A and B are shown apart, each in its own frame.
Chain A
Amino acid sequence: MSAAAAGHEDEPGIAAGEAAAGTRAVAGARRAPMGDPIVELLLRLGDDRLILGHRLSEVTGHGPILEEDIATANMALDLIGQAASMLRLAGETEGKGRDEDALAYFRDAVQFRNCLLVEQPNGDFGQLMVRQFLFDAYSVLLLDELSRASHAGISAIAVKALKEAKYHLRHSSEWVVRLGDGTEESHARVQRALDALWRFTGELFVADEVDAAAAAKGAAVDLAGIQSRWNAMVDEVLTRATLTRPADAAMQRGGRSGRHTEHLGHLLATMQIVARSHPGATW
């Protein structure tokens, strides 16, 4: 009989006597301890935009019309630019010598803090635009609050990003209306996308200990207030688009603590392949 098949009793770590003697600490905290809340907040903000920008960049050159290729590339550029400044500030605040590229290219999926919504695949143009719209509405409201934060670094980034986010929201909400109130097919497609993505929206408004601690450090956001304004904003656009708002059934969450959907790993595998194949190289 091979050693592996001999059974658990022979494995030292699981031997009953040893565990009882308390030589191995097994009982840990339910959650990993929180790092600097400002760093955590910046990772959430930066990762949302990096991952969504990356998703948009996947379709560069494959859009339904040339003008839309230009517009999508523009949004991707804005979002990745925002991500770069947020991750840079996260790295500086953390003080461990990680810059925006180290954070973008040398973290694994479970270390990313983006919401689940932005990592969902592009699907068809309707799904891409619904995802964009749901995020843009949230992003405009969030950045608006952060632009008034007493934390100078965060407010400076938010002020600039807010201008761009407003353009994105206008663009994505116009498309949602156009597709919703377009043809029978476009209506059906965009409704399907809305139904599929809705379960990832609840997470956006869940306040946790990071939000509370970040507020104490000068970056307060009122997620409950944002949620009610987001609801009004989304309802207004969905009505114009003749779309039906899905019921708030079971919501998925986990992105903020690194519990992602399986999609993120594949996205990162592509995004990080060159950088990780040549550690220490400059580009």
Chain B
Amino acid sequence: MEQTPNAPVDESALNAAFEAKIAAGDSIEPKDWMPERYRKQLTRMMSQHAHSEIVGMLPEGNWITRAPSLRRKMSLIAKVQDEAGHGLYIYCGTETLGVDRYDLFNQLLDGTAKYSSIFNYPTLSWADMGVIGWLVDGAAIVNQTVLAKTSYGPYARAMVRICKEENFHKRQGYEICATLANGTPAQREMLQDAVNRFWWPSLMMFGPSDKDSPNSAELLRWRVKRKTNDELRQRFVNLTVPQAQAIGLTLPDPDLTFNTATKNWDFGEIDWAEFFEVIKGNGPCNKERLAARNKAHDDGRWVRDAATAYAEKQKARAKTEAA
């Protein structure tokens, strides 16, 4: 039967049905009609998330070969492996929106896609492995716990699963920190230095302040986001300060004080100039991270070509045998 490609569609009726679903708190599924803008926003968020998992393998991968005990070495390999799995899982989730993961991947490689700014900071000591688990995964969990209730079904379900593993990573990271905190003076110094370097970049993980976050209102209305950047950032600070106190760490912010009226930990101003520089590609490791991803991709080309060629040969052989 002939399809009429440009059959007039009553978008306003479809849109009304979509908005009704959102209002009722139902989830939007891949086959449901959705406004292009919703699809675009979800694609942007999910692909950025997937890219972050993939690039996030690099700073921790940097310490696998130097992990100071076999148990730590194994848990670090497992953590980086989980990140690869999360990346793969979210890329597949993004494909339900009608994009191809290879196109997304190419956007990462050519530098047009964004990923979490935190991974553009270098890992300089073993303590960074503890602090990344504790602060970076901790911040990710605050974000993702809320995303697990996002309106797009496949993303929400991915977040439920990923959050479980991230919680494990966070506990593991905090345990490394606690061990170092109870260790030798050199270990304690190493830990405090790592906290000094990663505290502010961790706060930046929640994105720009609400007043500079252009997408927020729309995303909140569609229940893509459930909380604003600043709300999530505050929740993270409130959760983290007591954890730092428990192991005797100082957080590098002289303005950090408990506000008895709001019951929040007030904190100092984030260096937004630094944040936007990193986002623009001028962070300490942006170039290195992209170069590493591109090198892996380029070095692997002959392997992927071989796998394709072999699969085609096998198909041809099967056909000959069947004939």
Instruction: Please report A residues at the B interface, Cβ cutoff 8 Å.
Output: 50, 54, 57-58, 60-70, 73-74, 76-77, 80-81, 83-84, 87, 100-101, 104-105, 124-126, 177-179, 181-183, 185-186, 189, 270-271, 273-275, 278, 280-283
Give A181 to B313 CA distance when docked, in angstroms: 9
B72, closest chain A residue (CB):
A283
Checking A69, A181, A283 against B69 with a beta-carbon cut-off of 8 angstroms, the contacting residue is A283
Instruction: Please report B residues at the A interface, Cβ cutoff 8 Å.
Output: 54, 57-58, 61, 64-74, 77-78, 80-81, 84-85, 87-88, 91, 126, 176, 179-180, 183-184, 186-187, 292, 295-296, 299-307, 309-310, 313
Q: Which of B66, B84, B304 has the most CB of A within 10 A?
A: B84
**Chain A contact surface mostly:** helix
A279, closest chain B residue (CB):
B184
Structural contact, B310 and A100, CB atoms closer than 8 A: no
Structural contact, B183 and A282, CB atoms closer than 8 A: yes
Structural contact, A182 and B84, CB atoms closer than 8 A: no
Checking B57, B66, B88, B295 against A67 with a beta-carbon cut-off of 8 angstroms, the contacting residue is B88
Inside 8 A of B313's CB, which chain A residues have their CB? 181
Structural contact, A60 and B57, CB atoms closer than 8 A: yes
Give A22 to B64 CA distance when docked, in angstroms: 52
Inside 8 A of A83's CB, which chain B residues have their CB? 70
Inside 8 A of B88's CB, which chain A residues have their CB? 66-67, 70
Give the Cβ gap from B308 to chain A, nearest Cβ, in Å. Answer: 8
The 3 closest A-B pairs by CB, nearest first: A64-B300, A182-B306, A186-B306
Structural contact, B68 and A283, CB atoms closer than 8 A: yes
Inside 8 A of B85's CB, which chain A residues have their CB? 70
Structural contact, A271 and B65, CB atoms closer than 8 A: yes
Structural contact, B187 and A278, CB atoms closer than 8 A: yes
Structural contact, A66 and B54, CB atoms closer than 8 A: yes
Inside 8 A of A278's CB, which chain B residues have their CB? 68, 184, 186-187
Inside 8 A of A50's CB, which chain B residues have their CB? 70
